[in-house]
Amino acid sequence: MRKYISYISLLLVFCFSCSKVPLTGRKQLNLIPSSQVNSLANQQYSEVLKENKLSTNQQQTQLINKVGKRLSTAIETYMKQNGMEDEIKGFKWEFNLIQDDNTVNAWCMPGGKVAFYTGIMPICQDENGVAVVMSHEIAHAIAEHGNERMSQQLALQLGGTGLSIALQQKPQLTQQLAMAAFGLGTQVGILLPYSRSHESEADEIGIYIMAMAGYDPHAAIPFWQRMDKQGGAKPPEFLSTHPDPANRIKNIEKAIPKAMKMAKKQA
C-alpha cells in the first residue's frame, strides 16, 4: 500500500512539474526552479573563469562573441514572438574563449553561460563551424537539459513521498540534495555528459537556431564529420553518449527542411 501512495504522489509531482521543450514540444520533468539551477550555474561559471586562462587571441575571442550574440538574439526573439519569454527570463548570456589547446570542447551552462576552449577552434574552422557548436550548446540550455537531468536524479534518490514533501516544505533541502546528487560543487558535476536523446535534441534545436540567425544549417554536416575524424581523448560534452555519427547526420538532414522554413519566416 505504501508503495502505491508513493507512486501516486510521484505522479502528482510529475504532473505539476511537466513542461515542454521549446521547438521540439517534448514533455519533460523539471523539478527544480530554473532560478536555482541558474544561480548554481553562475557560481560554477565564475569558478571556471577564475581557474582558467582566457585566450588572448583577439580575433577568435571576437568571433565567439559575435556568433554567440547573433544566435542568442535569434532564439530570444523567437521565444518572445511565441509566448515563451518566461522560459528564458533568467538568462544572462556570456561567451568566453578559454586558452587550452588540448581541450576539444565547448559548453553552455544553464542560464546562458558559454565557454569555448581553443582546442575546438581548428575543428570549427570558420564562423559557420563556430555557429554549429555554439547553437548546439545553446540548445542544451534552452531545452533545460541540465534541470531535467538533475530532476531525474533527484526523483530516483528521493522516491515519491520524500520528493513531494521535500519540494513542498523544504526547498532548502531539495537544493542541498540536488547539489549532493550531482556533485554541483565541482565542475564535473554540472558538465556530466548528456544522454544520447539530449544530444539528438540539442542537434535538432541547434539547427533551428542557426537558421533563425541566418546561418546555413547545412554546415552542421561537415562539422560533425570533422569532429568524428578527430581521434584521441574527447572531453565530456563530446564523449561516448554522442549519437552514432551516421545517425546523427541522418537526424540533422531530417531537421534541415524545417530549419530552412524558419529561416524564411525570420527573414
Nearer to Zn ion, 130 or 202 (CB): 202
Buried b (16+ CB within 10 A) or exposed e, 214-239: ebebbbbeebbeebeeeeeebbebbe
- Least Cβ distance, residue 194 to Zn ion (angstroms): 5
Nearer to Zn ion, 129 or 160 (CB): 129
- Least Cβ distance, residue 9 to Zn ion (angstroms): 33
Cβ atoms of 231 and 140 within 8 Å: the answer is no
Nearest to 97 by CA among 132, 143, 135, 48: 48
Q: How far apart are CA 220 and CA 158, in angstroms?
A: 40
Nearer to Zn ion, 10 or 138 (CB): 138
Nearer to Zn ion, 94 or 199 (CB): 199
- Least Cβ distance, residue 199 to Zn ion (angstroms): 5
- Least Cβ distance, residue 172 to Zn ion (angstroms): 31
- Least Cβ distance, residue 37 to Zn ion (angstroms): 17
- Least Cβ distance, residue 202 to Zn ion (angstroms): 5
Binding site for Zn ion (CB under 5 A): 199, 202
Cell of 138: 545553446
Nearest to 117 by CA among 147, 141, 142, 137: 137
How many CB atoms are closer than 10 A to CB 189?
Answer: 17
Cell of 30: 523539471
Cβ atoms of 220 and 203 within 8 Å: the answer is yes
Nearer to Zn ion, 158 or 220 (CB): 220
Nearer to Zn ion, 44 or 164 (CB): 44
Nearer to Zn ion, 94 or 137 (CB): 137
What is each CA distance from 183 to 3, 85, 113, 124, 125, in whole angstroms? 29, 30, 19, 31, 34
Cβ atoms of 30 and 17 within 8 Å: the answer is yes
Cell of 214: 541566418
- Least Cβ distance, residue 108 to Zn ion (angstroms): 9
